[in-house]
């Protein structure tokens, strides 16, 4: 058979399964760069790449000491040397806990963006910092070696500049705008975090979920979804083709197990306008984001949980950064060879064949798949048919589709992530099972009701991998959602002990 025939057969497999039903912000400065640290398990870790600089570490300790000495509250201000320190407490729902140290130049840039008609000289900016930190005119004058009369005159000038009757009003206005601007800096709404992703988290994810963006050394933003108690034992999660359905019950389980799940998102996840990267670049960014999240939010070392074909990223991560991966758990293990390819499995067979033989055709075919699935009523029928041969997976799909959001959550998670999802097929061209690091603590979690990758195939794989441990979840299928996810996390937590 010719290569042309192979490609034609692959496309025919895809089209044979696809349904054919017809159609029926707050201001913030662009040039400010406050030093920001995320609070992780009582320690501060830099938002950008960790800096091994002694003076930076000293400034960090000074900022932390100043912030923790301030009065308690969800948002507090303090002074460290001449800089303003802002701390957003870990228990503020929906926020990522952070400490920011703002220099005079950063404050000037912020004020210029948030209050464009305002012109404050350095002395008045200093007075504003003191007021935000709760330092009164007398104490501030004594602290700076100035007369109280001088500070009273500056107070009058500051009120006149803001056209306000009192300093309390100014403090409320500036504090609110500053915290919003810092939120924007921690989780930027532009290219750092796509608006679709922000809306997805706000609409479909429960309380106890946080969203922020980290910055790699080259400036590439890495969106991160963070859930569970802020001081919980961290697990780095490598997500599957579509983000799973997370309910309040799963957040409650994380609280009970004292686990914190950190999800660095791959390029194109819930980002419909993103252009697909070449396979090598996509994998490199996925590895870079995972390593950054491990260093910034997980203390540099944690167990890794990879779903389905994201096991390729997990194995590569354990290879390039073995000191950071304490164990690799794979849920819903994927194999290319030996899997069923009849019936609804023909779609995957066709896409996988294109990924292996002619990846250049994958993008236009994926566009056709997404376009057809956007037609009214098509997506739901497609999902049900894809998982119809597994009672466990079909039950997960029905629970999701009949939940409070209908099909909107699953539709958004899958169809708005095409630039990422295409690589879950490409990963399966080479999953890397022949290159498992010999000393890796590897755990394969697989559902007894998985009909996409039947359990005997995965058991045989586990037998071939020295040291691999197979954990069978009898009631689960391929989709480790809902109660199946809780059961998986319970097994992981038991193995983690008190570490």
Residue 3 lies in a domain: no
Q: How many structural domains comprise the chain?
A: 2
pLDDT at 328: 98
pLDDT at 72: 58
Last residue of a domain, one of 148, 167, 186: 186
Last residue of a domain, one of 186, 212, 241: 186
Residue 466 lies in a domain: yes
Looking at residue 375, which CATH number applies to its domain? 3.40.50.1820
Mean pLDDT by 10 residues, the chain (499 residues): 56 55 42 75 63 60 58 75 81 62 91 88 93 91 91 93 91 86 67 77 90 81 91 94 96 96 96 90 95 90 97 97 97 89 71 70 76 87 92 96 94 93 89 95 97 96 95 97 97 78
Are 447 and 471 contained in the same domain?
yes
Residue 157 lies in a domain: yes
Residue 25 lies in a domain: no
Are 125 and 238 contained in the same domain?
no
Are 174 and 251 contained in the same domain?
no
Residue 29 lies in a domain: no
Are 181 and 207 contained in the same domain?
no
Residue 4 lies in a domain: no
Are 355 and 486 contained in the same domain?
yes
Are 123 and 260 contained in the same domain?
no
Are 291 and 273 contained in the same domain?
yes
Are 372 and 474 contained in the same domain?
yes
Residue 431 lies in a domain: yes
Last residue of a domain, one of 154, 186, 218: 186
pLDDT at 498: 47
pTM: 0.71
Domain, as residue range, for 349: 195-496
pLDDT at 271: 92
Are 214 and 153 contained in the same domain?
no
pLDDT at 240: 96
Are 201 and 156 contained in the same domain?
no
Are 150 and 232 contained in the same domain?
no
Query: What are the Cα distances from residue 93, in Å, to 227, 272, 339, 376, 463?
Result: 11, 28, 44, 36, 45
Are 145 and 82 contained in the same domain?
yes
């Amino acid at each position: 058979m010719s290569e042309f025939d192979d490609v034609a057969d692959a496309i025919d497999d895809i089209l044979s399964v696809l349904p054919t039903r017809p159609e029926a912000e707050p201001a913030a400065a662009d040039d400010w760069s406050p030093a920001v640290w995320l609070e992780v398990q009582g320690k501060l870790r830099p938002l950008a790449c960790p800096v091994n600089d002694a003076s930076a570490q000293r400034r960090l300790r000074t900022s932390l000491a100043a912030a923790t000495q301030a009065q308690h509250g969800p948002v507090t201000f303090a002074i460290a040397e001449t800089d303003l320190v802002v701390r957003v407490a870990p228990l503020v729902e929906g926020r990522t806990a952070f400490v920011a140290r703002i220099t005079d130049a950063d404050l000037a840039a912020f004020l210029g963006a948030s209050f464009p008609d305002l012109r404050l000289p350095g002395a008045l900016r200093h007075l504003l910092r003191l007021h935000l930190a709760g330092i009164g005119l007398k104490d501030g004058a004594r602290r700076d070696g100035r007369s109280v009369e001088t500070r009273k005159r500056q107070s009058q000038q500051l009120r006149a500049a803001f056209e306000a009757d009192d300093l309390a009003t100014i403090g409320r206005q500036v504090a609110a705008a500053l915290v919003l601007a810092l939120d924007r800096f921690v989780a930027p709404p532009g290219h750092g975090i796509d608006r679709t992703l922000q809306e997805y988290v706000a609409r479909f994810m429960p309380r106890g979920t946080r969203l922020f963006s980290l910055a790699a050394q080259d400036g590439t933003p890495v969106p991160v979804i963070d859930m569970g108690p802020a001081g919980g034992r961290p697990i780095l999660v490598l997500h599957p083709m579509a983000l799973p359905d997370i309910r309040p019950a799963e957040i409650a389980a994380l609280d009970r197990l004292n686990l914190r799940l950190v999800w660095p998102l791959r390029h194109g996840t819930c980002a419909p306008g993103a252009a697909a990267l070449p396979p090598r670049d996509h994998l490199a960014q996925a590895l870079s984001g995972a390593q950054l999240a491990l260093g910034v939010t997980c203390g540099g070392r944690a167990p890794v949980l990879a779903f389905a074909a994201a096991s390729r990223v997990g194995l590569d991560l354990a290879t390039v950064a073995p000191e950071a991966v304490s164990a690799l758990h794979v849920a819903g293990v994927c194999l290319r060879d030996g899997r069923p390819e009849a019936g609804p499995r023909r779609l995957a067979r066709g896409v996988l064949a294109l990924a292996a033989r002619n990846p250049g055709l994958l993008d236009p075919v994926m566009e056709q798949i997404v376009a057809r699935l956007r037609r009214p009523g098509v997506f739901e029928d497609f999902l049900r048919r894809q998982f119809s041969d597994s009672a466990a997976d079909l039950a997960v799909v029905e629970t999701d589709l009949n939940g409070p959001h209908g099909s909107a959550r699953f539709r958004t998670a899958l169809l708005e992530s095409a630039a990422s999802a295409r690589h879950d097929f490409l990963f399966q061209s080479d999953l890397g099972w022949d290159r498992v690091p010999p000393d890796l603590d590897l755990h394969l979690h697989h559902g007894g009701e998985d009909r996409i990758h039947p359990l005997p195939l995965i058991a045989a794989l586990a037998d071939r991998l020295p040291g691999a441990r197979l954990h069978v979840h009898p009631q689960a299928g391929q989709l480790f959602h809902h109660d199946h996810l809780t059961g998986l996390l319970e097994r992981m937590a038991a193995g983690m002990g008190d570490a």
